Amino acid sequence: MNEAFWDYFKGQTETSLRSVLLKAYQDAQDLPEMMHGLMVMQAAGSFCQNFKDNYPNLKAEMEKSNQSIGITAQEFNAVVDEITSKVLGEFVDIPAADNSVDYDLDY
């Protein structure tokens, strides 16, 4: 895998995703506040899925240029998920995994 290419790819993808999420957040300002995070998460999910769906096209374009993409579709998806989680975390508070759930069920 060409590390320079993937570093560039990750940086450009992060920048593009930030732009998309910022626009989604700004567009959601007329909605109730509880909807802001939902709109940003929806935009992140769409962006992520579109990128994952584009893997075959990216691979074909690189092969036409006599280059190898250097990673499998599964590895590509993991990179896209990592980028999406990182950038989404800048917009939405994502709680850390906590297996000790405390349900306060006062009836």
Distance, in Å, from the CA atom of 97 to the CA atom of 48, rounded to the nearest integer, reads 21
Give the number of other Cβ atoms within 10 Å of residue 55's Cβ. Answer: 18
Model confidence at 102: pLDDT above 80: no
Encode pLDDT of 19-65 as tens digits: 999 999 999 989 888 888 899 999 999 999 999 999 999 999 989 98
pLDDT for residue 51 = 92
**Domain ranges across the chain:** 3-88
3-state secondary structure of 103: coil
Those residues whose C-beta lies under 8 Å from the C-beta of residue 68, and which sit 6 or more positions away, are: 62
Mean pLDDT score of the chain: 86
Residue identified by tokens 């769906």 is: 53
| pTM of structure | 0.78
Encode pLDDT of 67-86 as tens digits: 888 889 999 999 999 999 99
